[in-house]
């Protein structure tokens, strides 16, 4: 059986090249005058200009003699320093990218927490405003047998007082319109003030926005809630 020492391509593996796996370099980098090393033997040569037409990967090199060698069997002389520099510079670049990514994530988390806090404050202010409107809102008074709409308690908050005053005027107008003596069906559709007040609040479907008569869109609604929240802080 023939010895493996006489085998084909025995000096081309990574064990022969001390574990180094040479990267295939494009033929464009083998320009005339470039110093190159043959992977198999370690011979140093200089790339020459080709004087005959041939494959682009076939490089003309001046060793002891002029040879034509394929580019995958050569590497540039400063390959080691370039590769070492490339490998060493990868980590700082990776670390910088990672730090920037972590910084972006931190900013995103802080922004998310800030938005959560804003939403929580908005919901709390909205709930408190609704409670103030209803607790200090409208009721039917009975003075000497005469029933009228009125406001329960005047709030310390001017925003709540304005809302209740406008709602009071609104329900008085509804009462006049529905129970007007000029209506032909007044006797059939007449509503007591208690019934009208119940319908007035039920029609709002427990929505704080509808309880505010001068709000016609979301933007105005958010503005009112924010003003009310700030007024609570000022106290």
Q: Please write the tens of the pLDDT for every residue from 223-232.
A: 888 888 888 8
Position 88 in a domain: no
Examine residue 100 and state whether it is found in any structural domain, yes or no.
no
Under 8 Å between Cβ of 67 and 61: yes
Q: Considering the domain boundaries, does residue 107 fall inside one?
A: no
Task: Assess whether pLDDT exceeds 60 at residue 1.
Answer: no
The pTM is what? Answer: 0.47
Q: Which helix (H) or strand (E) holds 140?
A: strand 138-143
Co-location of 124 and 220 in the same domain = yes
Q: Which CATH number does the domain housing residue 58 bear?
A: 2.30.30
Q: Decide if 113 is inside a domain.
A: no
Q: Is residue 124 part of a domain?
A: yes
Residue 86 lies in a domain: no
Average pLDDT, the chain: 78
- The total domain count for the chain is 2
What's the domain range around 49? 4-79
Give a yes or no: residue 111 inside a domain.
Answer: no
Query: Could you tell me if residue 93 is inside a domain?
Result: no
Each residue's pLDDT tens digit, 12-61? 666 665 556 667 778 888 889 999 988 778 889 999 998 888 888 899 99
User: What's the token pair of residue 23?
Assistant: 């990267």
């Amino acid at each position: 059986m023939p010895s493996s020492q006489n085998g084909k391509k025995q000096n081309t593996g990574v064990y022969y090249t001390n574990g180094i796996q040479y990267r295939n370099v494009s033929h464009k980098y083998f320009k005339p005058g470039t110093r190159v090393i043959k992977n198999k033997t370690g011979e140093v040569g200089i790339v020459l200009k080709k004087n005959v037409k041939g494959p682009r990967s076939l490089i003309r090199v001046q060793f002891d003699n002029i040879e034509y060698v394929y580019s995958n069997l050569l590497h540039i002389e400063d390959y080691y320093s370039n590769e070492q520099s490339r490998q060493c510079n990868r980590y700082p670049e990776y670390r910088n990218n990672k730090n920037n990514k972590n910084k972006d994530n931190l900013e995103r988390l802080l922004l998310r927490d800030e938005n959560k806090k804003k939403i929580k404050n908005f919901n709390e202010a909205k709930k408190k405003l609704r409670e103030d409107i209803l607790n200090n809102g409208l009721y039917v008074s009975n003075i000497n047998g005469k029933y009228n709409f009125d406001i329960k308690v005047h709030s310390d908050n001017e925003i709540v007082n304005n809302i209740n005053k406008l709602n009071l005027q609104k329900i008085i107008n509804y009462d006049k319109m529905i129970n007007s003596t000029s209506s032909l069906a007044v006797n059939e559709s007449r509503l007591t003030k208690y019934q009208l007040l119940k319908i007035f609040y039920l029609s709002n479907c427990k929505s704080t926005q509808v309880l505010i008569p001068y709000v016609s869109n979301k933007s105005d609604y958010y503005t009112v809630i924010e003003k009310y929240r700030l007024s609570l802080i000022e106290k």
